[in-house]
Structure 1
Amino acid sequence: MAQTTAAAGLTPQQWDDKFFREYLRNNPFKPYMGKGTNSIIQVKEDLTKKRGDSLTFALVNKLTGSVNDGTSKLEGNEESLGSRSHKLTVGLRRNAVSVLEFEEQKSAIGLRNAAKDQLMDWAMEKDVERVVEQLYSINGTAYGSASEANKDAWLVDNADRVLFGAAKANNSSNDHSASLLNVDATSDKLTPEALSLMKRMALSASPKVRPIRLEGMNRRYFVVFAHPLAFRDLKNNATIVQAQREVTLTKQNNKLFQGGDLEWDGMIIHEVDDMTTLSGVGAAGIDVGGVFLCGAQALGLGISKRWKSTTKTENDYGNESGCGIRAIDGLDKMTFGSGSADTDDLKDHGIVTGYFAAVADS
C-alpha cells in the first residue's frame, strides 16, 4: 500500500531552516558576521548545545614585545598574553501576525508561508535597530538612557577612540555634551580627511582597533557605518568623487562591498538609513549623526535558539489564525576592561566613534 509523505520543504523544521538561511542571506549586516575573531560581528552559538542565559567572548591582546636575538635567555623573559572577557546575556525576541477569514482551509505550513516575508522583514529591521543602538551605547546602556555623568565617564576611558567632528581638539576636557557643542555645520562635516584621522586614531589607540583581513586577499579593511546625512556630505566631497572613479571592480566585488558603498584609505563606508540622529546637540543647535569605524570584534552576537515559527489556529471561533516567530539571542558592543579587572575602565574594543554634522536638506 502506498503511503503519503510530506513533500520536501513542507515540514515546520524544514521551513524554519529555510527561513533562517534566507534571513541571514538578506540581512544587511551578514557580510560583517562570522564566527572567528577576524569578524566585525563575531557570532557565537555555544548556547544552542547547552543551557544558559549568557556566554563569554574572549579577547587576547596582540604581542608587543621586542625580538629576542639570542643574546639573552628566552626562558624567564617570556611575554604574557593579556586576556580579557565580555559577558553577553541572551533574551527572547518574538512577534506574530494574524490572518482573518480564510476562504479555504489552510494548513500550518500555508500560514507560515503567508506570513514569512512580513516576519522576515520585521526581524531584519529589528536587527538593524539593535546594531545602531549598540553602536551608540554607553557601556551597555542605550545612548538616550545614559546620564551625562555616564557619557563623561565613558569618554574619559575612550578618549583615544572618540572624535567630535574634524579635529581631536573638539574634545572639551572629556565633557561629552560640551564636546558635541563644538561640532558645527561647516567645519565638521564628514570628509575623507576626517575618516583618515579616525583610521589613524584606531591604529594608535591603546589597545589598537584591529582591521579585518579578507580571505584570499592581502588587504586589511575597516568598515565605517555612517549616518545618512553625514554619508551625503562625504559622497558629495570632490576628493571622494574622484577616488570612487579609481575603485576597481575587483575591490567592489569583495564580500564587504554592498551597493552604494564608498571606499577610502582602506575603509569601506556603508550608509545606514536608520542611524539615530542626535537632535540639536551641536553648535548653534544643529543635529549630529554617528559615524562608527569598526574593526575586528566590534560587536558580539550570541545565539541560543535560532528563529523558529509557531502557529495558532483556534482564535475567534476559528475565524482568525496566527503565525509567529521567536528566537533567543543577544547583541552587544564588545567592551573590555583596561584596568586591573575585566570590567574596570571599559573600552569599546573594536570601534572608533565619530560625531559629525547631520544637517537636513534645505
Structure 2
Amino acid sequence: MAETIISQANRAKQWDAEFFKEYVRANRFKRYMGTSTNDIIQVKNNLTKKKGDAITIPLVGALDADSGYNDGSTNLVGNEKALPNDGHRIQIGVVRDATVVNVEEEQASPFDVRNAGRDALKTLAMRYLRNDIIAALGSVNGIPWADATAAQRNTWNAANSDRVLYGADIGNFNATVSTALGNITAEQTLNKAMVSKLKRIAQNAVTVNGDGIRPYVYGEDEETFVLFVGTGPYRDLKLDLAQEHADARERGRNNPLFTGTTSLYWDGVVIREIPEILGLGGVGGEGAQVSPIYLCGAQALGVAWAMTTKTTTRKEDDYGFRHGVGFMELRGIEKIQWRQGESDAKDWGVVSGFVAAASDE
C-alpha cells in the first residue's frame, strides 16, 4: 500500500496563508482595516489577481444640496448636477527580508528552516506594516514628514489649513509650519477639550459639497472618529480624563483609569495609543516637546496588496551548511488625498494635530 505524502510545496503554501493572516492581526491598526469604503484604513486586494504596479481608489464627493432641488417648475433636462469624483493612485512596491540558519542550529530541510524563522519574520513583517502606516499618516503630499522640505510642508499646510490644529488653539496656525509649531507652548498637552476641537474641525472641514470628513459608521447610525496618538499624548489625556472616569465609570478592570488599556473614549472619539508614533523633538515654544496626533475618519488611508506575504528560501547554501528563509510581498500604503499630486491636494479623511508632550516626571 502506498500512502499519500503532502509535498513540501503544498505545505509551504498553506503556511504562507497563515503567516499573512497572523502578522496583520498582530498589528494594532488591524481593527481599523477592511475592504469597505466605511473603513478607516481601506484595503484593496484587486492586484493580487491582476497585473499592474499601482491601484487607484475612486473618490466620490457629495452632490450639492445648497443650490436646492428641482420643484418641477423648470426642466430637469439640462440642469443635472455633476457628480464630483477623483481618484487616489497607490504605488505598489516590494517589501522583503530574510534570516539565515546554519545546519548546526536547524535540520537541513527547507520546511524546517521556514518554521525556525517563522516567529521572527512574522514580527518583522508586522513592524514594517505598522511603521509604513504611521509614516503614511504623517506624510506630506506622499512624502514622509522627515524627508519633506520646509517648502513642501508649508504647501501641504496651506492646502489643509481647515484640517490641522497646532496645540490647543486654532489661532496658533501660521502659513509657515515651523512658526505654527513654535506657537505650541509646553502646557498645550492633549486634553479632552482638544479632542472635541479636533472632532469639530473634522465635521467642519471643507469637502466637495459635503458635510465634513466622513466618520466611521457602526450599528444603525452611530458615528465615530479614531484618534491615533503616541505614548506621551495618551498619558496626558488619560490624566486629564481621570476625574471623568472616576465619576462616571465603574471601578475595576473595565475602567481605563485603573488598567493599562490602549484605548480611551471621549465625545464620540476613540483615542488609540500607538507607542511607535514618535515626537518631533523640541520644536515648540521655548523648546517644548511636540508630538503629532491623527484624527481619522473613513478612508483615511489606503493599503493595496499586489502579492500577499509569501515565504522565500535562499539558493546559495554553502554546500548545504546554511539555509536562509525570508518573506516577500508587494504592497503600497498611502494617506488618501483629493486632487493627489496638485499643490492644493487635501487629506481625504485625516485631521492632523500637533501637541506638547509633558515630561515624564
TM-score by length of 1: 0.90
Contact 1:171 1:179 in 2 (8 A): yes
Residues 115, 2 of structure 1: CA spacing in aligned structure 2 closer, same or farther, 3 A cutoff?
same
Work out the CA distance in 1 between the residues paired with 2:48 and 2:113.
Answer: 26
Report matched runs for 1:119-158 at 5 Å: 119-158=121-160
Query: Which letter maps to 2:184?
Result: V
Work out the CA distance in 2 between the residues paired with 1:104 and 1:352.
Answer: 49
Number of the residue aligned with 1:57: 57
Residues 9-30 of structure 1 show CA distances to partners (whole Å, capped at 9, x for unaligned) of 9611111011112122222111
Residues 35, 68 of structure 1: CA spacing in aligned structure 2 closer, same or farther, 3 A cutoff?
same
Contact 1:189 1:356 in 2 (8 A): yes
Task: Please give the secondary structure, in 2, of the residue aligned with 1:213.
Answer: strand
Contact 1:289 1:355 in 2 (8 A): yes
Task: Please give the secondary structure, in 2, of the residue aligned with 1:315.
Answer: coil
Query: Which letter maps to 1:287?
Result: Q
Query: Which letter maps to 1:84?
Result: D
Q: What displacement does 1:218 show?
A: 2.7
Residues 246, 217 of structure 1: CA spacing in aligned structure 2 closer, same or farther, 3 A cutoff?
farther
Residues 7, 343 of structure 1: CA spacing in aligned structure 2 closer, same or farther, 3 A cutoff?
same
Contact 2:181 2:285 in 1 (8 A): yes
Number of the residue aligned with 1:286: 288
Task: Please give the secondary structure, in 2, of the residue aligned with 1:302.
Answer: strand
The counterpart of 1:92, out of the listed 94, 114, 121, is 94
Task: Please give the secondary structure, in 2, of the residue aligned with 1:156.
Answer: helix
The counterpart of 2:162, out of the listed 151, 160, 163, is 160
Number of the residue aligned with 2:352: 353
Number of the residue aligned with 2:236: 233
Q: What displacement does 1:336 show?
A: 1.2
Work out the CA distance in 1 between the residues paired with 2:325 and 2:129.
Answer: 20
Work out the CA distance in 1 between the residues paired with 2:234 and 2:360.
Answer: 13
Work out the CA distance in 1 between the residues paired with 2:40 and 2:62.
Answer: 17
Work out the CA distance in 1 between the residues paired with 2:160 and 2:296.
Answer: 14
Residues 244, 343 of structure 1: CA spacing in aligned structure 2 closer, same or farther, 3 A cutoff?
farther
Report matched runs for 1:212-291 at 5 Å: 212-214=216-218, 216-237=219-240, 239=241, 241-243=243-245, 246=248, 259-291=261-293
1:190 matched to 2:190? The reply is yes
Number of the residue aligned with 2:257: none
Q: What displacement does 1:278 show?
A: 0.4
Residues 104, 268 of structure 1: CA spacing in aligned structure 2 closer, same or farther, 3 A cutoff?
closer
Work out the CA distance in 2 between the residues paired with 1:202 and 1:106.
Answer: 57
Number of the residue aligned with 1:320: 322
Task: Please give the secondary structure, in 1, of the residue aligned with 2:47.
Answer: helix
Query: Which letter maps to 1:234?
Result: L
Residues 220, 8 of structure 1: CA spacing in aligned structure 2 closer, same or farther, 3 A cutoff?
farther
Residues 186-226 of structure 1 show CA distances to partners (whole Å, capped at 9, x for unaligned) of 1x111111111111111111112110112x34311101001
Number of the residue aligned with 1:335: 337
Contact 1:244 1:263 in 2 (8 A): no
Which 5+ residue runs of structure 2 have no aligned equivalent?
255-259
Number of the residue aligned with 2:204: 204
Residues 311, 148 of structure 1: CA spacing in aligned structure 2 closer, same or farther, 3 A cutoff?
same
Contact 1:85 1:342 in 2 (8 A): no
Contact 1:132 1:276 in 2 (8 A): no
Query: Which letter maps to 2:284?
Result: G
Residues 131, 234 of structure 1: CA spacing in aligned structure 2 closer, same or farther, 3 A cutoff?
same
Q: Bigger shift: 65-74 or 195-204? A: 65-74
Query: Which letter maps to 1:176?
Result: V
Q: What displacement does 1:127 show?
A: 1.4
Which 5+ residue runs of structure 1 have no aligned equivalent?
253-257
Residues 151-208 of structure 1 show CA distances to partners (whole Å, capped at 9, x for unaligned) of 1111110000000000100012x1110010011111x111111111111111111112
Task: Please give the secondary structure, in 1, of the residue aligned with 2:124.
Answer: helix
Number of the residue aligned with 1:83: 85
What value does the CA root-mean-square deviation take over the aligned residues? 2.3
The counterpart of 2:298, out of the listed 272, 296, 299, is 296
Number of the residue aligned with 1:28: 28
Q: What displacement does 1:326 show?
A: 0.3
Work out the CA distance in 1 between the residues paired with 2:89 and 2:197.
Answer: 31
Contact 2:114 2:311 in 1 (8 A): yes
Contact 2:189 2:358 in 1 (8 A): no
Work out the CA distance in 2 between the residues paired with 1:342 and 1:78.
Answer: 29
Work out the CA distance in 2 between the residues paired with 1:274 and 1:104.
Answer: 33
Q: What displacement does 1:75 show?
A: 3.4
Task: Please give the secondary structure, in 1, of the residue aligned with 2:178.
Answer: helix
